[in-house]
Each structure stands twice: as structure tokens, then as C-alpha cells.
Amino acid sequence: MTQVAHPRISPSWEQHLRYSATAACYLVLVIPAFALFLVVAISIPLVLITAGVFVLAFAVPLTRRLTDLHRRLAGEILGARIESPYRSTEGMGAFSRMASCASDPARWRDFAFLFVSATAGFALAILTIIWLPATIWYLIAPIVTFGNFWYWLLAPISFLIWWFGTPLLLQVLALLSRSLLGPTRAQRLAALESSRTETIDHSAAEVRRIERDLHDGAQARMVSVGMSVGLASELVHRDPKAAADLLAEAGVMTNAALEDLRMVVRGIRPPVLADRGLVGALEALSLDLSLPVTVTADLVGRPPDPVESAAYFAAAECLANVVKHADASQAWVRIAHDGAALWLQIGDDGVGGADATRGTGLAGIIRRLDAFDGRIGIDSPIGGPTVVTMEVPCALS
Amino acid sequence: MRVVLAEDLALLRDGLTRILQAYGYDVVAAADDVDALEEALREMKPDLAIVDVRMPPTFTDEGLRAAIEARRVRPGLPVLVLSQYVEQLYARELLASGDGAVGYLLKDRVADVATFIDAVRTISEGGTVLDPQVVATLLSKAAPLSRLTPREREVLGLMAEGRSNAAIASRLFVTEKAVSKHTNSIFTKLDLPVASDDNRRVRAVLTYLQGQG
């Protein structure tokens, strides 16, 4: 998904001072960038005599530290997170990790970024930051030097440039960072491809599961109902008692088949979700749970069906986890939409310690939300409380 | 007894009509969508409405809404809502639509004809009938029930479903006197106001259980 940059230009003083502080950060970060650039540039030819290898073993991870910081900064400015583009080096030995880094284009783009940051980035940061001190200087200079009052004419000009130019120049800085540090188009496509494949696999598995549930459950029971009824109609004149027993059995079996069908349908799309939408369905769900759940919602309109379903099942899974593991006395659900994305928060006052890497439930939620570019954050310190936040980009109808 | 029936599946509509007629009910209209139902309720002034939750045109919960609306227009109109699924939420909304004369049952329950007709009779006499599935959830959520004996919990569940003392007695194979002893004990333990007639008693129990939920 291509992220659109939302410049968060706010007219407040505090915000503008924060912009200047960010620009100052950029300026300070030029120093390590320049140093690292020199170190790496010198080490690369030295790899031939192995000395470079040892230096690079430190310099390359350090570079990543620095560029990660830049990703964070640029992400803050652009209002959209910048994903790390690196290949995973998990579980590799030192040597193969080196080889992997050497052939990873993202590392080379990092190296290029060091150079850009130390040159163009430096110039831009200076240009961004200069206007605030300039304004102050123009204001006090005539007083300090008892001279040139023309400076007071320049003060408002430089103030205006600072006020309106700083956010724009910061945007340029951030975009420059993103062009070198963000995932390339090819990488984004590959990520999309894999998430789509996973979704398709997931849907196929889901269909198989439904088919199996029907086959082993309702279908088998209906077959046995048919048999009992057939047999009963054979016996009805010869042995009415046995026929009545068989019919009673068929009745019980019919109910069990209906129960099975209900379970299957609830697993596909709960009827109450179709009836009442996400908020109503979660209210209905919380009525069935053994602990008090407060549902608060700020939602005008309905998200698209698939998103609604995914969000519902994700929330249901979270609430099921609360009931099973949290040992909580109460839970709450908040639902909102900020114009770009649907937000769901599920919290409880239980014992905490929820972990997405353990258990299949949370992994399943993450996979469901992945299909819609959704994200999930789990905040669950030991001792609680637990808050799970989900965000799914979508429009409301 | 003049009954208006609303059910969109022809198979079930005919089945229900046959069962009701076999027990002497007069099915004056059998609607297959909400508009026809609303018209029948207006024109026919029935003594009882039996309504499916999901109906054309949108197949959501318009049957339920129509039933609640009908009771707003005619307070106390006996309504039995049938559904393929039971939802606590819908049970609450129905119960809140006035005093008694409502029922909410799974469609499967129709297969047990005698019990179904019992429910229809209870509702038309102003009683309340709730599906055992709804009641089971209510009971599982009510915390202070630990004070009751297992037998009393059983009786309380049957009471919440809307059964009379006589029905509870025959269900549990005990005498009616034993049942009334249980119910008195339940009412004492749960601090409920003692009421002589079945309908008010059932409502007291439901109010209590919902308050706990």
C-alpha cells in the first residue's frame, strides 16, 4: 500500500518549536552519518586485506541504528511509518550475515544515505534551522549594536520564512530519507504479493474447514436421520414401538444437525453482524460472555463487509482470550473510525502477560488483519492491564 | 384464537400453519415478507402474531423490529418470535417491549409440537416464554446463584423459560407441591418479591437474571 504523506501542519507555537527541534536533530545526526560514511568508505577496499571486515562488522549494524533513527524521524514527520527494507539475517552465523549484508541492496542504499545525509541533508538541515536564530538576531541586533535599524524590517520576513518554511523543508528532508530508506517499489510489491498469497491460502483453508465441518457434522447427521426415518417407515406396522423409538432418535439427530449448522454459519459470518453491524454484534457478543464488557463506539456508517467480519472475529478472539487467560473482573471494547482507518481497542483489568508469539489465537488475528493492511499492537505488562489495539485502513459507507 | 404468521420459507410456513390448525388455531394470514406482515397486523387485528426474525427484503432483523413496533402500537399484543439463532440482545429488546405476552424461541423447538403449542398458549395468555439457550446463558452469568441447590437452579431455569409450576412438576417428575416449595425457597434466597401468578413470577426472575448479566 502506498502511504500518502499527511503533512501535520499545526498552527501552534509549540508545534513550530518542535519542528525546529526536529531540524536540530537532523543537524546533529549529520555528524555520525559523516563519520560512518568515512569509516565505511575506507573499510570497503580494506576488505581485501581482511582488516576492513572487522571494521565493517561494527560499522554496518551502527549504520542501521542510525538509519532506523532516521526512519523514525521521517515517519513522524510524514505521519506514516517507514518499514525496514532489510533482508532478515536471523539465525545466521557472523560470516554468512556479512555476506548477506554485502548482497542486500538495502545496506548499500544505507551507505548511499550516509553520503546524502552528510551533504544534501546537512545543507537542508542548516537551511531549515537557520530562520529561528536569524529572526531572533534581527530583533536584538539593532539594540546590541546600537546601529542598523533596517534589521527590524528583515525580522518579520525571516520570521515568516521560519513559520511557513520549516514544515515544508522538514517534509523535503523526510521525503529524501524515505526515498533511500523506505522499501523500494519492488519490495513493496513483493510484500503485497506475499500477504495476498497468504490471504488466498487462508481463504482456501477456511473453505476447506467449512466443507469438512459440514461433511462430518450436519451432513452425516442428516444421513442418519434419513436412515432412521426410512427404517421407521418400514417398521411402523410391524413394530410400532420400535418405529416410535427410531423417530424420536431422528428428532434428536435433527436438532444436533441444526446445532452443527449454526456453529458453521456463526464461524462464517455471525447473523447478528449482518443484522446490526460491528457495534451491535460486539454488544451482542459481550452479553454472552461470563464477565462484564463495556462497549463504547464512535462509528458513523459501516466498514466494508470483509473488514467488518475480520474486525469482528479479531475482537471476538481477543475477548475469548480475556475470558480464558486474563483472570479479569471486567473488560472493555472501544470502536472508532478516524476518517482513514477503523480502530478497535480491547482492554481488560486482568493479569497481563499476553504474548502474540505464543498461542495460535493472536497469530490468527494478525493474519486476518494483514489481508487488509491492518496492524495490531499489544500492550500487556505482567500484572496487567492488557490493551490490544487494532487498526484497519478502510472507508465507511 | 386468530393468528397472523410471518415466515418467508414456504416449507416452514406451511408446516407451522398445519400444526397451529391441528390445535384449533385460526391462521388468518400467513405473510412472507415484512410489508405483508405489517398489513396483516393492521387489517386483521389478530390475537397473536408468530414472526420470523429474518425476512425479506433485507434479511436482517426486520421481523423482530416489526414485532416490537406492533407491540408499541398495540401494547400487550401477544408475539412469538422464532429464529434460527437466539441472541441475548434480541431477547432483551423483546422483553423490554412491554409486560409479558412475548416469546422468543429457536425454530427447532417447533419440532417438539406439544411444547411449542404450550408456549403459544402461555404467550397468548400473557405469559413469557424464553428459549432454553437464552436462559442457560443468563444462568451462567448470574453470580449469586451459588446460594441455590442444584435442584433449585434447575427449577429456576425452567421458570425463566416461562414454564408454569405444573409444567415444571411434570418435567422433573415431582409433585406440584414440591415445585412450589422450591420456588418459595428460591424467591427467599434471591430476595425476590413473592408473586402468586405465574406470569409475574417469571418476569421477576427474568428481571433478576438480566440485572445480574
Average pLDDT, stretch A296-325?
89
Res A2 pLDDT > 90: no
Q: What mean pLDDT is reported for chain A?
A: 84
Dump pLDDT digits (tens) for A83-132. 778 877 777 777 788 888 888 888 888 888 888 888 888 888 888 888 88
- In which order are the strands placed within the sheet that holds B102-106? B26-31, B2-6, B48-52, B79-83, B102-106, B128-130
- Chain A residues with CB-CB distance to B105 below 8 A: none
- Could you read off the pLDDT tens digit of each residue along chain B, which spans 213 residues? 999 999 988 878 888 898 899 899 999 999 999 999 999 999 999 999 999 998 888 888 999 999 999 999 999 999 999 998 889 999 999 999 888 899 999 988 887 888 899 999 999 999 999 999 999 988 888 767 788 899 999 999 999 999 988 889 999 999 999 999 999 999 988 888 877 777 888 888 888 888 765
Instruction: Tell me which DSSP letter residue B128 carries.
Output: E
Element (H, E) at B27: strand B26-31
| Superfamily of the domain at B2-130 | Response regulator (3.40.50.2300)
Q: What percent of chain A has pLDDT over 70?
A: 95
Give the fold, CATH level 3, of B142-209: Arc Repressor Mutant, subunit A (1.10.10)
Q: Which residues of B touch A271 (CB under 8 A)?
A: 54, 84-85, 87
A373 CB contacts (<8 Å, ≥6 apart)? A1, A195, A392, A393
Residue B96 at interface with chain A, using a CB cutoff of 8 Å: no
**Cβ(A152)–Cβ(A135) below 8 Å:** no
* Sheet bearing A386-393, strands edge to edge: A293-298, A331-337, A341-348, A386-393, A375-379
CA–chain centroid gap for B173, Å, is 23
Domains of chain B, by residue range, sit at: 2-130, 142-209
Tell me which of B87, B94, B104, B106 to substitute to probe the interface with A (most A C-beta atoms closer than 10 Å). Answer: B87
> What distance in Å separates residue B90's CA from the closest CA in chain A?
8
Distance from CA of B57 to the nearest CA of A (A): 12
Domains B2-130 and B142-209 share a fold: no
Residue A332, beta-bridge partner list: A294, A347
Q: What is the overall mean pLDDT for chain B?
A: 89
Q: Model confidence over A6-25: pLDDT tens digits?
A: 344 445 777 788 888 888 88
Which distant-in-sequence residues (6+ apart) come within 8 Å of A248 by Cβ? Answer: none
Q: Supply the angle between the helices A105-116 and A166-181 in degrees, to the nearest 10.
A: 150
B112 contact A CB<8A = yes
| B60 → closest Cβ in A262, A275, A284 | A275
Q: CB of A74 within 8 A of CB of A178?
A: yes
Q: What is the 3-state secondary structure (H, E, C) of chain A?
A: CCCCCCCCCCCCHHHHHHHHHHHHHHHHHHHHHHHHHHHHHHHHHHHHHCHHHHHHHHHHHHHHHHHHHHHHHHHHHHCCCCCCCCCCCCCCCHHHHHHHHHCCHHHHHHHHHHHHHHHHHHHHHHHHHCHHHHHHHHHHHHHHHCCCCCHHHHHHHHHHHHHHHHHHHHHHHHHHHHHHHCCCHHHHHHHHHHHHHHHHHHHHHHHHHHHHHHHHHHHHHHHHHHHHHHHHHHHCCCCHHHHHHHHHHHHHHHHHHHHHHHHHHHHHCCHHHHHHHHHHHHHHHHHCCCCCEEEEEECCCCCCHHHHHHHHHHHHHHHHHHHHHHCCCCEEEEEEECCCEEEEEEEECCCCCCCCCCCHHHHHHHHHHHCCCCEEEEECCCCCCEEEEEEEECCCC
* pLDDT surpasses 90 at A133: no
When scoring A287, A290, A291 by the number of chain B Cβ atoms within 10 A, the one with the most, hence best to mutate, is A287
| Chain A residues touching B140 at Cβ < 8 A | 290
3-state secondary structure of B211: helix
What's the pLDDT at A244? 92
Residue A343 pLDDT > 90:
yes
Question: How high is the pLDDT of residue A359?
Answer: 60
Residue A207 contacts B, CB cutoff 8 Å: no
Pick the closest to residue A142 from A155, A151, A154, A133 (CA basis). A151
Confidence of residue A148 (pLDDT cuts 50, 70, 90): confident
Instruction: Establish if B146 touches chain A: CB-CB under 8 angstroms.
Output: no
Helix axes A305-321, A271-287, angle to 10 degrees: 20
Distance, CA of A260 to CA of A252 (rounded, Å): 13
